[in-house]
Amino acid sequence: MSRRPRARPEPVQVVKQRRDAALAALVSGVPYIQFLGISFERRGDELTANLAFDEKLIGNPMLPALHGGVTAAFLEVTAIIELGWSLIWDEVEAGAGALPATMRLPKTIDFTVDYLRSGLPRDAYARARLNRSGRRYASVHVEAWQDNRARIFAQATGHFLMPARDE
């Protein structure tokens, strides 16, 4: 049995650079993501959002604790970027040279946040999972944690309207 010779794989640095550039383009265009101090780490297609602690994120200075709204916003940002990322992934992998000049992001329809414990005054991390991603609607679940991955401090489920595709 003879095998067909495989196409020579792209150098790993080229692949990484293309993926990182696409992710940066997706995230850097949104002022509010910078305002909160959220960044994204990528491993393959897996994203982890990182909320760097800052005094201005405090809601209750007596505890002190992160503002519940900041926690909700962090989860929502993570969900939207995960969805946006999934929308451009195939194009990025196909090596489609330049990215679309404007990347339209999904719009939130509803978002339900479950607060499990108070957000401590330190960095927080979050990952989103696409429950279902259709042509028009998507359902996304997000979990956020701080010191221990197993001790989630908040989770959320939301529904999103997918951006119209111009074909």
Partner 1 sequence: MAEMAGQFIDALPHCKALGMALVDIGDGTAEITMPYDTALIGDPETGVIHGGVVSTLMDTCCGAAVMSHPGGAVGTATLDLRIDYMRSATPGQALRAHAECYHVTRTVAFVRAWASDDDPDNHVAKASGAFTVERPGRRA
Residues in contact with partner 1 by CB under 8 A are 29-32, 34-36, 55-62, 65, 67-70, 72-74, 76-77, 80, 102, 104-105, 107-115, 118
Comparing CB distances to partner 1, the nearer of 16 and 104 is 104
Which 3 state secondary structure label does DSSP give 118? coil
In the bound complex, what is the minimum distance in angstroms from residue 125's beta carbon to partner 1? 17
Cis previous bond, 31, omega within 30? no
| Interior angle at CA 107, CA 57 and CA 25, nearest 5 | 70
**SS3 state at 125:** strand
Q: Which is nearer to partner 1, 15 or 152 (CB)?
A: 152
Nearer to partner 1, 76 or 82 (CB): 76
**Considering the complex, what minimum distance in angstroms separates the CB of residue 61 from partner 1?**
6
Q: By C-beta, is 14 or 109 nearer to partner 1?
A: 109
Residues 6+ apart with CB under 8 A from 74: 36, 38, 49, 51, 124, 126, 144
Would you say 47 or 76 has its CB closer to partner 1?
A: 76
What is the CA angle 12-15-7, rounded to 5? 75
Minimum distance of partner 1 from residue 132's CB (angstroms) = 19
Task: Return d(Cα 158, Cα 128) in angstroms, integer.
Answer: 11
Q: How far is the CB of 119 from partner 1 (least distance, A)?
A: 10
CB atoms within 10 A of CB 123: 13
Tell me the closest approach of the beta carbon of residue 156 to partner 1, in angstroms: 9
